[in-house]
Structure 1
Amino acid sequence: MLTNELVLGSSGFAPLDSIYQLVAFLVLMLLLKKFAWAPLVKMMKEREDYVANEIDSAEKAKQEATELLQQHQQMMKEARLETQALIESAKKQGELQREEIIQTARSEAERLKESARLEIQQEKENAVATLKEQVASLSVLIASKVIEKELNEKDQEALIQEYIKKAGEER
């Protein structure tokens, strides 16, 4: 019983057991600190760094995407402006060509009109000259016929009508 009392003490509390438990607890804490806590803290730190890097990467990617979007929008705006400028230029060029075509057509029409007028004038002059020649030859013919015979007024009128008819047929 004596051993029992020494181990348990008088009140059932054994100081050696407490010391043994305290030493075991401290050893366990040291072992946990060395083999579990340090790797756990290291793993948590790595995880924290990884998450922070991923957040930074995501923010950078978001910023780059925003910049790319702005660049794309700017390029689209510039492309719209260039397209609008090209359309306006094409319209102006079309107007200039239209005016040039109209002016050329008017000039050509005026030239053709003048050419036709000159041709008509020439034909008229030719017709007048031919008529003069015919009248002259008819006059000479009539004069020679009149000289050959004395005609009364009725015969002279018939003769004139006959020569006019002949002149019309020759033409």
Structure 2
Amino acid sequence: MLTSSFVLGSTSHGFNGGDMLFQLVMFIILLALLKKFAWGPLMGIMTQREEHVANEIQAAEASRQEALKYLEEQREIVKQSRTEAGQLIENAKLQGEAQREDIVNQARLEAERVKESAKREIVQEKEKAITALREQVASLSVLIASKVIEKELSEADQEQLINDYIQEAGEGK
């Protein structure tokens, strides 16, 4: 009969403080090892990841702000371009209107010049015609006077003579 109090593998129903103390020491050692080899590096990786994400968020926000600034600049440029285009169109209209007025005024001046030139020409031609008529009348008067001197005519003969000379003058033209 074996009556030993300590048997390996036997179960005892009593409280064993040595085992518990051993497990507690092993648990503390395991926690210290985990803290040193697993928890520290894991927390370092998590901190690095957190910093990386924070930097990416800051970079994205900076990019967004820059894009908004660029968008506003582009809108302002488009607005200025539209304003300049409107001014160019208005200036072109004003220049076109001024040119039209200038052309109309030049045409009026040219028409006045032609009209005045035509009037002067008409006056000159009229004066030439009057001068020619006076010369013809003078020559006819001299001719009539010479004929009258040659013969003394009756009133009927004088009228006949004047009518004949008027006809000759009309045919001579």
Aligned length: 170
**Equivalent residue number for residue 96 of structure 1:** 98
Matching residue's letter, 1:46: Q
Matches within 5 A, 1:1-171: 1-4=4-7, 11=14, 13-171=15-173
Would the alpha carbon gap of residues 112 and 3 (structure 1) be closer, same or farther in structure 2, given more than 3 Å must change? same
Would the alpha carbon gap of residues 36 and 166 (structure 1) be closer, same or farther in structure 2, given more than 3 Å must change? farther
TM-score by length of 2: 0.82
RMSD (CA atoms): 2.5
Matching residue's letter, 1:103: N
Structure 1 stretches of 4+ with a deviation exceeding 6 A read none
TM-score by length of 1: 0.83
Deviations 1:111-150 (A, max 9, x none): 2211111111111000000011011111222222333344
Percent identical residues: 55
Alignment gaps of 5+ in structure 2: none
Would the alpha carbon gap of residues 29 and 142 (structure 1) be closer, same or farther in structure 2, given more than 3 Å must change? same
More relative contact order, 1 or 2 (CA 8 Å, 6+ apart)? 2
**Between 37-46 and 82-91, the greater mean CA deviation after superposition:** 82-91
Alignment gaps of 5+ in structure 1: none
Q: 1:39, 1:165 → 2: CA distance?
A: 143
* Larger helix fraction of residues: 1
